[in-house]
Amino acid sequence: MSIFEDKTVVVTGGTGSLGKTLVRRLLGGEKGTPRKIIVFSRDEAKQHEMRLMFQNRSVTTDEVIYRNFMQRLEFRIGDVRDYRDVCSVLKNADIVINAAALKQVPTCEYFPMQAVMTNVTGASNIVQAITENDYPVQTVVGVSTDKACKPVNVMGMTKSLQEKILLSANVLNKDTRFVCVRYGNVLASRGSVIPLFRNQILHGGPVTVTLPEMTRFLLSLNEAVDTVFEAVEWALPGDTVVPRAFSATVFNIARALIGDRDIEVCSTGIRPGEKMHEILISEEEAYYTIPHGDYFSIRSSLPELSGIQAQPKLLEKEFSSADTVLDLPGTIELLNKHGLLASSRSEYDVQSELLR
């Protein structure tokens, strides 16, 4: 289905790991060729690096720097915290994917108001800009996290509020469809545990895990983008789309990356704001959850949006990362499937030589 054909797509926070993969696939045209893709973020250095990457350039020239607004892939400096910036970038948009976020748990714990301004006020600015100015935006997708489900940390709390702000916007704005996606840890994304483990292995260890039995949902960057595409394609107003993801213990992830190297794994204990197991669908949300192929769709509990009454639970319990835990061979197979073991080993071999 050509859901992006001739559309103007805005990706807030588009220089992040998800944004780069999303933009690459949008440019590939697998779901239709967009008229324009606008990367909206506040870091000019990351935008310039991304511009060079997508133009296959290694050095800067006037041709690279200028003609920005003449390209299909356009870069805009701005901040979702600033209502005027948001208005400027959304006024001609058809589809908005809100990937802008403060997402590191420790950062949000230490600077909660900064997390509120990006994750909460940013979402509110998007809703307000569309509603007050009657912008003809067709779909807004909010990118959320398993930490938003029964949150215990600031990052999860602010992401949960982002979900509520976006999804409730459907009640008073019938011309724009607001939906969310919610998923777990994205493999090898910036700030995730795999780059940390790789660096520790590269330097001979030890590899530090919080608690060996702690579990996390695992998703590749492409699977995260697939979830966004699915939401754009079929989600109803107020829906939250959740992939049926596998999980693994952090200990098995470390062992899979270490392989046969003689490197110690040690436990550092649970950190502030962390859960032993993450949740993608709460027990309460199970009453509003509908299966959809490889995904679940959580319908809004608001009666104006749900279209269904609370029903016998599809799930017997909450959908927890403790439910679908892969053993070590399964974890190795999953990481191999996404090319994370072969690439890491060749990287270690080369860089280890340089460190000797």
Catalytic residue numbers? 147
Cα 156 to Cα 115: distance, rounded to the nearest angstrom: 10
**What separation, in Å, do the N-terminal and C-terminal C-alpha atoms of the chain show?**
53
Picking from 47, 35, 156, 145, the residue whose alpha carbon sits closest to that of residue 98 is: 145
Picking from 341, 329, 337, 336, the residue whose alpha carbon sits closest to that of residue 252 is: 329
Cα 319 to Cα 295: distance, rounded to the nearest angstrom: 12
State the CB neighbour count (10 A cutoff) for residue 268. 10
Residue 79 is classified by DSSP as -
Picking from 73, 126, 74, the residue whose alpha carbon sits closest to that of residue 99 is: 126
Cα 149 to Cα 139: distance, rounded to the nearest angstrom: 23
Phi, psi of 45 (to 5 degrees): -65, -45
Residue 151 is classified by DSSP as -
CB 321 within 8 A of CB 217: yes
Q: Could you check whether the bond before residue 206 is cis, i.e. omega within 30 degrees of 0?
A: yes
Q: 3-state class of 63 per DSSP?
A: helix
